[in-house]
Amino acid sequence: MQHKVFPVILSGGSGTRLWPLSRKHYPKQLLKLTSEYTMLQKTALRLTGYEKPIAVCNESHRFMVAEQLQEIGQDASAILLEPVARNTAPAIALSAFAAVEKSADATLVVLPADHVIEDVCAFQTAVAQAIEVAQAGALVTFGVVPNKPETGYGYIQAKDTKGLLSPIEQFVEKPDLATAERYVNSGQFYWNSGMFVFKAQAFLDELKLHNGDMYTAAELAWRNSQKDLDFVRVNKQDFEKSPDDSIDYAVMEKTSKGMVLPINVGWSDVGSFSALWDVLDKDENGNVSLGDVKNIDSQNCLIQSENQFVATIGVKDLIVIGTKDSILVAHKDEVQKVKEVVNHLKQTARTEHLLHREVYRPWGSYDSIEQGQRYQVKRIVVKPGASLSLQMHHHRAEHWIVVSGTARVEVNEVETLLSENQSVYIPLGATHRLTNPGKIVLEMIEVQSGSYLGEDDIVRFEDVFGRC
């Protein structure tokens, strides 16, 4: 019998340890960190040949996830929107209900969207082996063969290391260095990869057995979900009743059906800048230089600049990350403390942990290139055929100047077609909409003026993307 296999891509993380590259509303899985593809895209491309993937993400990432999958010809069979964060187990439960609805005998290959795997062929072979075992009823997880005593990963202890697969003895949390060394030397422990293969119904059965409250909440949330464009909106009231637990704690540590399959595929979860330095190509001095960078007598550094020239002289083991609005300088041994910076930004009500200066929207993007007490200047890019919402502002007026492309502008129900070097004024309180009717990208400069220039001063009347 031919079983349907659904890749499940978990894309709900925020990647705070990679700030300022990764932000809450544009996290690391949506970034091109290691190649011309984003982390999400590389994850999807590892498992072609099966059913279309099921993706799980949050509300603010939904259009970016859909677009990135479409760019590589991997339209999702479902994109499930988590209304609140409840860790991996409830997210996987939603995916299992979605898969069972499509095929009662469905098998899931569950992958976080933000991992690096260098040997894709070896990984695909391991996945095929895991699928065969999973279709016999096992819940399989991949254990990465450790090449060093790593304190940043959890570990899985195998009961039997003589064969290819082993029942699981135990899961253990991130150890101290001495414990990690003992684990690696024993040959019985593997890094916990967070990747799984099992039949959807087998997982649901074990979840119901070991965590009935989570099963009930996920089942009701799925049953009461609603279709919205290409997305499935999971019922918030039901889903937020679910316990907030990982799949390890909710199921894998309790089930008698758990198996671990060792893999040696060049795996990394790229959970820090030191891990990112590990997987990127380096020059003869061990430096990774991305952007407009010059290193003089510097060694083993990761230097990335988004929009300015950066020079280093005589430094070692540094991480220097420059974006349009923030700069991080850290020693490679201290990069786990980046979370403290993010916490500071949250506690002081700053926005740099939420958004980049350039913000992506389903219709394109905008970049806030200058702002003052009563004005703000933005560079706006609108995709061909795309349209912003019909909207108005209570506190600001706007000037739009077309730099390239063609703009159709509606102001108080009067439409005007603008081309390069032409402009229009949007008075405070006027109902207006911007559309790119052309075949090329529309680029504009927007000058806002008024007493309040926040993004929440938008009243939407119509929106093709279903935003309020």
The chain-wide mean pLDDT, for the chain, equals: 94
Residue 463 Ramachandran class (φ > 0 left, ψ -120 to 50 alpha, else beta): beta
pLDDT at residue 365 in the model: 94
**Whether residue 256 is found in the same domain as residue 280:** no
Q: How confident is the model at residue 468 (pLDDT cuts 50, 70, 90)?
A: low
Q: Cα separation of 394 and 412, whole Å?
A: 15
* pLDDT higher than 90, residue 162: no
Q: Decide if pLDDT at 284 tops 90.
A: yes
Locate 39 and state its tokens. 């982390």
For residues 124 and 201, membership in a common domain is answered with yes
Portion of the chain with pLDDT greater than 90, in percent: 87
Q: Do residues 257 and 229 both lie within one domain?
A: yes
Are 247 and 232 in a shared domain?
Answer: yes
Number of domains in the chain: 3
What is residue 394's three-state secondary structure? coil
The answer on pLDDT for 75 being more than 90 is no
Residue 412 lies in a domain: yes
Residue 160: which pLDDT band, with cuts at 50, 70 and 90?
Answer: confident
Clarify whether residues 184 and 150 are in a common domain.
yes
What is the pLDDT at residue 1?
46
Q: Are residues 420 and 291 in the same domain?
A: no
Asked if residue 97 belongs to a domain, the reply is yes
Query: What's the CA gap between 179 and 170, in Å, rounded?
Result: 15
- Average of per-residue pLDDT across 408-427: 96
Q: Is the pLDDT of residue 93 over 70?
A: yes
Helix 88-102, helix 200-210: angle, nearest 10: 130
Q: Is 270 left (phi over 0), alpha (psi -120 to 50) or beta?
A: left
The yes-or-no verdict on residue 246 having pLDDT over 90 is yes
Of 239, 268, 297, which marks where a domain is finished?
Answer: 268
Determine contact, residues 42/53, Cβ cutoff 8 Å: no
CATH code for the domain in which residue 390 is found = 2.60.120.10
Give the CATH number for residue 58.
Answer: 3.90.550.10
Q: Judge contact between 78 and 84, C-beta under 8 A.
A: no
Domain range holding 296?
273-343
Structure tokens at 114: 């933000």
Co-location of 118 and 192 in the same domain: yes
Nearest to 42 by CA among 87, 82, 14, 7: 7
